[in-house]
Amino acid sequence: MKKTIILSLLFSIVTFSQNSLNKLDRYCKEYVKKNSLPSLSAGLMENNKIIWTNYTGTADLENNVPVTKNSLNRIASISKSITAVAVMQLVEQGKINLDSNARYYLPFIPKKKWVFTVRQLLNHTSGIRSYINEEEFNSKLNFGSVREAVLYVAKDSLKHQPGTEYLYSTLAYDLLAGIVEQVSNSSFEEYLQKNIFNVVGMNSTKLDYHNRIIPNRTSGYEKNSFRAFENAPLADLSIKLPGGGILSTVEDLLKFSNGLMQHRLIKKETLDIMLTETVLASGKKIQYGLGLDFGVDKYGRKFYGHGGGGTGFVSHFICYPDLNLASVHFINCRDRNLLNVAGEIAALYTGENVAFPKYSLSDTLTKITTAVSIDSAISFWRSIETKKDSNFNLLNSEIKDFGSDLLVAHRIKEAILFFTKVTETDSTFSDGFAALGEAFSLEGNKGLALRNLKKAQKLKPNDANIQSLILKIEGDQR
């Protein structure tokens, strides 16, 4: 009898676990379908074992190559966490002092107005600038070495006195890689391979050199204002390899996550330092450590990790130390309104009440407008709103996004017609009046533009964008 009860319990546990994993597979499939994505790759590691992975969709749309466990994705800013671990390993060895002047390790860079430290490079308070513009974000310049990239970044003045402001800077991590090279007497690439990748078995992870032939490198995409896929801009990531230029797989990044949780890469005491919030000179606290985000999620679980958004890709890795659980996801399309899928998958696995993906209303309206007409799109929108159709995201942001797409595509008359109907339906929708005002402005009707923008301002008096549009039109009228 006792044996029968034990077997029954074991069967129940196995069945529950399998049902949970099946639910994760369904979530991924629906996420790709309802967000109209090329692919989603995701995985979970629990108690030192990879317990689930899923690869849904296409790694290369032009050649119809499916995404697989071998697909290499740009992990973007997750690269910062890897670079930060490299720095902290050298801190443990006494080769780097976090609070030393960074120029002590990089004597070849120009002297600045203020001293900035290694710690300030790690926590984005050094004053090193961010990207000048989108063109530099997608830079096509090729830097033959980390040192060249360091000199390119370090030639500019600091944006603020170090320690007084938080300015997220991918380029600051070039200087950290330069420091790693200086004190380790090896290239940044060699250091990562020997001291991080080899240690935890990240056998596929590598730096994303544009000019190298790299098998299994996934293609990245974006969506235009018609919500159709386009190839992401060509970019040479040698300007930001340490802060945003590493390629990896789901399984490799899970191994990195586990290496942090099991203290195989750095000591617990060192990880604790990385997970200490940043305090500015004013006393203001920033919830960012040394190359790692951390906190408590909406489900009440402690976490640390990092997200990434690069040219054609978004990514996330999250560690839940109290659960000994790690979650990773990659999407090979940089787009708006994409959730932290890794977090949602972990929550779904642990039994939280997670909402399944819904169709994008803005994308659906754009497709109807393009294929049929704006009148058909308006009719569809009214029908969905009336029924409160649970298959669609009915947030006001979806309406705003649709209008933005119309304006970017220079479909001004269609935007005016749509937002006229929207504001007639909801007289409290400030973003609707703002979009209508912007559309009238682009059409050249300054009077109606101002009338609608001022209605928007009355509803949302502190909106800087609305105020800016009003001032611009009033200035043009003088």
Pick the CATH number of 73-349 from 3.90.1200.10, 3.40.710.10, 1.10.10.60, 3.40.47.10: 3.40.710.10
Give the mean pLDDT of 288-309: 96
Average pLDDT, the chain: 93
pLDDT band at residue 20, thresholds of 50, 70 and 90?
Answer: confident
pLDDT greater at residue 13 or residue 293: 293
Task: Quick: pLDDT tens for 344-362.
Answer: 999 999 999 999 999 999 9
Q: Is the pLDDT confidence value at 263 over 60?
A: yes
CATH no. for 359-477: 1.25.40.10
Residues 312, 224: Cα–Cα separation, whole Å: 12
Q: Is the pLDDT confidence value at 249 over 50?
A: yes
Q: State residue 17's pLDDT score.
A: 65
Q: State residue 10's pLDDT score.
A: 47
One-letter amino acid at 281 equals: A
For the chain, domain boundaries: 73-349, 359-477
Give the mean pLDDT of 78-104: 98
CA 150, chain centre distance (Å)? 24
